[in-house]
Amino acid sequence: TAVSNIYPTAALRALDAAHHIHPFTDTKMLNAEGSRIITHAEGVWLTDSDGNRIMDGMAGLWCSQVGHGRQEIADAVHRQMSDLSYYNTFFKTTHPPVIALAERLAKLSPPQFNRVFFCSSGSEANDTVFRLVRYYWDQMGKPEKKVIIGRWNGYHGSTLAGTSLGGMKAMHGQGDLPVPGVTHIAQPYWFGEGGDMSPDEFGIWAAQELEKAIDRIGEDKVAAFIAEPIQGAGGVIIPPESYWPEVRRILSERDILFVADEVICGFGRLGTWFGSQYFGLEPDLMPIAKGLSSGYLPIGGLLISDKVASALVDMPGEFYHGYTYSGHPACCAAALANLDIMEREKLVERVADDIGPYLQARWKALGEHPLVGEARMTGLVGALELVPEKGNRRKAFDNTGTVGTLCRDISFRNGLVMRAVRDSMIISPPLVLSHDEADQLVALAR
């Protein structure tokens, strides 16, 4: 029996307040206001404990590509659990679902990727990045290459390595982070930080910050550059067109690894299997999670290019790294069933050719709204920049995020989950969103 059938909503809220610490939540504020209790979900719709229907405009946390409640995935997990509920992949053991998923990912990803290391989340994938790039350079006889360059406002998870690689100052402020050996450069956020420059001038400037950082630190000390193709949690920062080609030019001239964090942009969000393909990037490593299983079970991974894999495959030595749940059979089964649906329903193509352009046109029309300074969207991920003075992008609200939080709460009450990042409103709906649901989404956001 579902817990929500036993306890009334008020009792559930009281128990939640008494015993449950939520991630990224001001607990005092939450307990004063009461939590929202989601009891059921199907397609792009959530149901709460009061029976309200709410559109899931964020695909959970940017992850439910195939939408909620797909029986096929539940059945695949059930079958796998009945067969082999758990076994590890340490030392010399393996099992069929992890082999099948590894092969599937090698086929889906760009040609330089033929190997994958599994874990349970995007944060663990980035912890693996942190350790693997250093291991790689040790193996290459260049142990002094240790520094990883990230970007301000990037998000790479909430573990020590993830928080450090990410550029969230509020997170760094708690616990004396980043750890040594990580540095950050500007983000390509033209709307907020572009000053008098045109978007393309600013894109070049932001990319060249990478070149300056490499020169300042010394190329012989830099191990890697890590970036999301589009910064997600930082506010859906879609870089100006000039940005990625200039970064590519810089990286092609430098002997450092490029890590494209695909935790949000991967699995069709931009209308390509990976965000790197959308922007023509050629990364050496790609952390993945979220859309890999549409969140049905926790699974992440690190796609490893042949170049980096050579340190593991061709050279002597063991990389002392792994997790109890690396390649968990039931999670692999969920991911395989999810990828089956994505391929059969051509969800990636749908984002590129059908629902993507459909929603983008309507979303961008919200730019006319008196409170919106910019409405941007690529694939099915977008943002509305809220401004107090139409036409003046320099003039932000007070940047405490109060306006955004207020709008997010109003949106939820109106029946649409959006996320607030400072004073931007973010949307990242399931890839199965229908045209009719896209119209409803825009009407609710308005």
* Binding residues vs ligand PLP (CB under 6 A): 121-123, 126, 155-157, 162, 228, 232-233, 261, 263-264, 289, 300
Q: Report, in Å, the least distance between residue 290 CB and ligand PLP.
A: 6
Single-letter code of the amino acid located at 79 = R
DSSP E strand stretches across 317-423: 372-378, 381-386, 419-421
Considering the complex, state which of residue 194 and residue 232 has its C-beta at the smaller distance from ligand PLP: 232
Q: Report, in Å, the least distance between residue 229 CB and ligand PLP.
A: 9
Q: Report, in Å, the least distance between residue 156 CB and ligand PLP.
A: 5
Q: Report, in Å, the least distance between residue 202 CB and ligand PLP.
A: 22
Single-letter code of the amino acid located at 224 = A
Considering the complex, state which of residue 125 and residue 403 has its C-beta at the smaller distance from ligand PLP: 125
Q: Report, in Å, the least distance between residue 15 CB and ligand PLP.
A: 25
How would you class 171 by CB atoms within 10 Å of its CB: exposed for 0-12, middle for 13-18, buried for 19 or more? middle
Q: How many helices and strands (H and E) does the chain possess?
A: 19, 14
Q: What DSSP state is assigned to residue 181?
A: T
DSSP H helices, 140-242, are 160-165, 169-173, 190-193, 199-217
Considering the complex, state which of residue 73 and residue 264 has its C-beta at the smaller distance from ligand PLP: 264
Residue 426, helix vs strand vs coil: strand
Residue 185, helix vs strand vs coil: strand
Cis ω on the peptide bond leading into residue 178 (within 30° of 0)? yes
Q: Report, in Å, the least distance between residue 196 CB and ligand PLP.
A: 30
Considering the complex, state which of residue 263 and residue 355 has its C-beta at the smaller distance from ligand PLP: 263
Considering the complex, state which of residue 264 and residue 433 has its C-beta at the smaller distance from ligand PLP: 264
Q: Report, in Å, the least distance between residue 228 CB and ligand PLP.
A: 5
Q: Report, in Å, the least distance between residue 239 CB and ligand PLP.
A: 14
Q: Between 243-252 and 199-217, two packed helices, what is the crossing angle to 10 degrees?
A: 30
Q: Report, in Å, the least distance between residue 65 CB and ligand PLP.
A: 14
Q: What angle do CA 402, 232, 412 make, to 5 degrees?
A: 45
Burial 126-157 (b: 16+ CB within 10 A, else e): bbbbbebbbbbbbbeeeeebbbbbbbbbbbbb
- Give the contacts of 117 (CB within 8 A, at least 6 positions apart): 128, 132, 301, 302, 304, 326
- The answer to whether residues 131 and 322 touch, using CB atoms and an 8 Å cutoff, is no
CA-nearest of 310, 309, 323, 189 to 243 is 189
Residue whose Cβ sits closest to ligand PLP: 122
Considering the complex, state which of residue 222 and residue 236 has its C-beta at the smaller distance from ligand PLP: 236
- The answer to whether residues 283 and 260 touch, using CB atoms and an 8 Å cutoff, is yes
- Give the contacts of 158 (CB within 8 A, at least 6 positions apart): 23, 123, 171
Q: Report, in Å, the least distance between residue 129 CB and ligand PLP.
A: 10
Considering the complex, state which of residue 203 and residue 301 has its C-beta at the smaller distance from ligand PLP: 301
DSSP E strand stretches across 241-347: 257-260, 285-288, 300-305
Q: Report, in Å, the least distance between residue 383 CB and ligand PLP.
A: 14
Q: Between 96-108 and 329-344, two packed helices, what is the crossing angle to 10 degrees?
A: 40
Considering the complex, state which of residue 300 and residue 430 has its C-beta at the smaller distance from ligand PLP: 300
Considering the complex, state which of residue 147 and residue 264 has its C-beta at the smaller distance from ligand PLP: 264
Considering the complex, state which of residue 43 and residue 232 has its C-beta at the smaller distance from ligand PLP: 232
Considering the complex, state which of residue 139 and residue 378 has its C-beta at the smaller distance from ligand PLP: 378
